[in-house]
């Protein structure tokens, strides 16, 4: 656990005391092993609580919908900053109301993976912490790079797209040649196999909506699942109802999903939602050359059109 | 529908969302011109193909439709100038997504039919009906099918998975 460097602390304190922002959202040490807790700081003297290390997993942009119209500061990793770009594009936020501390993130630690590697239960990780690029568990050491979330391993945009202050050095991004390799692999399966995979993953889903709540782009005041007039979704655990919910929620992110993986990390049942959302991202890139959140001046693909758009799927 | 007696062979149910200005008028022309086409299609008139929420399509499959057809004006001919251009982007992603998830290719189809193309409307409906006939009754997402038939071996009372 590392407190933020002094210059960064001073910058945040300056914003808070000058009234440029009324709230700063960062991370602080939490009680859950290997998982920093989001911290909501309103007074300059509280800034010392804030930390940054490889356990700062939450996408803080997801909290922004609660503070619409306010002036808020935020700590952003690469993926969080892409979500913020998306929110600005969709006119949920104006850039002037945000103060961003950008941090280049090499990836965050997956406690389940740590436990698995060491043959332990997640509950056994109570003393685990991250120190100098290593995870320390009861005297054993693991390199952070070995126990990242899958989404972080596949990350090709480590650096923040937008930030007011950059904390630490930027990281060189890997070649994004096979960013969607898992999608291509799934595409080679037969329709039956793909359905078995989809239905199999969602067999574990119990409609807790953690994916929706963790998603920075899911900001509707009333979600379609909560609407009763009309009632779009049967909130039962029938496989068809669960599948309906997940198809529609994921499709609402078509051309908008920034691939931060917050939904997949938040899922208590370990449903690999990334496998499905990444298909939408791959198609948005392939058909419309659009990667959500990477270019603040671009228009999201479903809010615009070209006359010569992809038309092959229309019956001849 | 999955269960049918032997006397009446299974016939696909196809739901068609037709835009008011082109495809619905095209269907009307097919009717007034006495052009024959399969009676499997149930038509819902919508103001524009851009009005069709992807949720409508998935809900149709959930409620037991064996196939879904969405038809609108040709690109450039939209009554609302650009509704079908937006729809095209949305449906391109939706069709590829549903296929990726395992809904068979051909269950959900899209076409452009103008108000003067009664013949073409009949051809489109014939083609969609043939495609869906080949695929057989819809099993995925369909609440009319008993659950055991949806997931191979049925949903098990599986032991809680170790996390």
pLDDT tens-digit readout, A23-69: 999 999 988 888 999 999 999 999 999 999 999 999 999 999 999 88
Q: What percent of chain A stands above pLDDT 90? A: 75
Residue B118 lies in a domain: yes
In this predicted structure, the answer to whether residue A129 has a pLDDT above a threshold of 90 is no
- On average, the pLDDT of chain B sits at 88
Determine the residue of chain B that is closest to A252 in CA distance: B54
Nearest CA in chain B to A193: B102
Q: State residue B1's pLDDT score.
A: 52
CB contacts of A305 in chain B (<8 Å) are 82, 85-86, 88-89
List Cβ neighbours of A259 (8 Å cut-off, separation of 6 or more). Answer: A79, A82, A151, A274, A277, A278, A281, A292
pLDDT on residue B154? 47
A309/B88 CB distance under 8 A: yes
Using a CB-CB cut-off of 8 Å, the residues of chain B touching A306 are 85
Q: Has residue B156 got a pLDDT over 70?
A: no
Alpha-carbon distance A230 to A3, whole Å?
A: 49
> What's the CA gap between A261 and A98, in Å, rounded?
23
Q: What is the mean pLDDT of residues B6-12?
A: 82
Using the Cβ of B99 and the Cβ atoms of chain A, whether some distance falls under 8 Å is answered with: yes
Residue A105 pLDDT exceeds 70: yes
Residue B5 belongs to some domain of the structure: no
> Measuring CA to CA, which residue among A250, A190, A314 is closest to residue B95?
A314
Out of A191, A247, A315, closest to residue B111 by CB: A315
Confidence at residue A172, expressed as pLDDT on a 0 to 100 scale: 85
Higher local confidence (pLDDT), B41 or A178: B41
Interface membership of B112 toward A (CB under 8 Å): yes
Given a cut of 80, is residue A167 above it in pLDDT? Answer: yes
d(CA B129, CA B37): 9
- Give the percent of chain B with pLDDT over 70: 85
Look at A283 and B96 and tell me if their CB atoms are within 8 Å.
yes
Q: Measure CB to CB from residue A307 to each of B55, B75, B102 and give the nearest one.
A: B75
- Reported as type and span, the H/E element at residue A246 is helix A239-251
Residue A84 vs residues A79, A93, A160, A296, B29: alpha-carbon distances, Å: 9, 8, 10, 9, 50
- Residue B161: what pLDDT? 52
CATH number at residue B86: 3.40.50
Q: Is the pLDDT of residue A127 over 90?
A: no
Task: Give the pLDDT confidence score for residue A258 in this predicted structure.
Answer: 94
Instruction: Give percent helix, percent strand, percent coil of chain B, each to the nearest 5.
Output: 40, 15, 45
pLDDT tens sequence across B82-139: 999 999 999 999 999 999 999 999 999 999 999 999 999 999 999 999 999 999 999 8
In a domain, B2, yes or no: no
pLDDT classification of A214: cutoffs 50, 70, 90: very high
For B95, nearest residue in chain A (alpha carbons): A313
Cis peptide bond prior to A230, omega within 30° of 0:
yes
Q: How far is CA A164 from CA A61, A76, A86, A254, A270, in A?
A: 15, 10, 17, 29, 35
Domain of residue B72, residue span: 14-150
Does the residue B6 lie in any domain?
no
Predicted structure pTM score: 0.91
Domains of chain A, by residue range, sit at: 6-108+148-303, 109-147
C-alpha distance from residue A158 to each of A55, A69, A293, B102 (Å): 15, 28, 13, 33
pLDDT in the model for residue A32:
87
Instruction: Give residue A220's pLDDT.
Output: 92
- The average pLDDT across A6-26 equals 94
Q: What letter does residue B125 receive in the DSSP assignment? A: H
Residue at token pair 């399969």: B38
Residue B6's pLDDT is 64
B residues 115-144 closer than 8 Å to A (CB) = 124, 127-128, 140-143
pLDDT band at A268 (very low <50, low <70, confident <90, very high): very high
The number of distinct structural domains making up chain B is 1
pLDDT at residue A131 tops 50: yes
Q: Provide the 8-state DSSP code for A3.
A: B
């Amino acid at each position: 656990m590392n407190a933020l460097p002094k210059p960064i602390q001073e910058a945040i304190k300056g914003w808070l005391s000058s009234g440029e922002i009324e709230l700063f959202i960062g991370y602080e040490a939490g009680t859950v092993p290997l998982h920093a807790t989001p911290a909501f700081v309103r007074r300059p003297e509280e800034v010392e609580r804030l930390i940054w290390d490889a356990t700062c997993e939450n996408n803080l942009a997801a909290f922004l919908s609660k503070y619409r119209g306010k002036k808020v500061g935020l700590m952003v990793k690469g993926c969080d900053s892409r979500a913020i770009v998306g929110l600005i594009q969709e006119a949920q936020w104006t850039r002037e109301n945000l103060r961003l501390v950008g941090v280049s993130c090499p990836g965050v630690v997956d406690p389940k993976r740590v436990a698995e590697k060491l043959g332990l239960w997640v509950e056994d990780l109570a003393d685990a912490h991250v120190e100098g690029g290593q995870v320390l568990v009861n005297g054993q050491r693991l390199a952070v790079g070995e126990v990242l979330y899958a989404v972080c391993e596949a990350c090709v945009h480590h650096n923040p797209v937008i930030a007011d202050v950059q904390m630490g050095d930027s990281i060189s991004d890997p070649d994004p040649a096979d960013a969607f390799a898992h999608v291509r692999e799934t595409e080679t399966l037969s329709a039956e196999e793909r359905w078995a995979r989809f239905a199999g993953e969602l067999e574990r889903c119990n409609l807790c909506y953690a994916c929706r709540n963790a998603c920075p782009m899911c900001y509707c005041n009333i979600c379609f699942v909560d609407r009763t007039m009309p009632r779009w979704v049967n909130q039962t655990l029938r496989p068809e109802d669960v599948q309906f919910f997940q198809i529609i929620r994921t499709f609402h992110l078509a051309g908008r999903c920034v691939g931060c993986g917050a939904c997949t990390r938040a899922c208590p049942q370990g449903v690999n939602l990334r496998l499905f959302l990444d298909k939408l991202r791959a198609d948005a890139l392939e058909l419309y050359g659009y990667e959500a959140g990477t270019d603040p001046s671009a228009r999201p693909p479903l809010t615009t059109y070209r006359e010569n758009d992809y038309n092959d799927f229309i019956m001849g | 529908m999955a269960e049918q007696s032997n006397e009446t062979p299974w016939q696909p149910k196809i739901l068609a969302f037709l835009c008011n200005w082109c495809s619905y008028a095209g269907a009307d022309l097919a009717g007034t011109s006495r052009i024959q086409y399969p009676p499997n299609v149930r038509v819902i008139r919508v103001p524009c193909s851009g009005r069709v929420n992807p949720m409508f399509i998935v809900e149709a499959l959930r409620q037991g439709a064996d196939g879904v057809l969405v038809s609108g004006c040709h690109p450039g001919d939209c009554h609302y100038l650009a509704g079908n251009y937006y729809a095209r982007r949305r449906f391109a992603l939706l069709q590829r997504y549903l296929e990726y998830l395992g809904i068979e290719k051909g269950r959900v189809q899209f076409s452009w039919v103008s108000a003067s193309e009664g013949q073409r409307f009949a051809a489109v409906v014939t083609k969609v009906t043939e495609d869906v006939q080949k695929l057989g009754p819809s099993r995925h997402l369909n609440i009319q099918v008993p659950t055991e038939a949806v997931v191979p071996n049925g949903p098990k009372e599986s032991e809680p998975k170790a996390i």
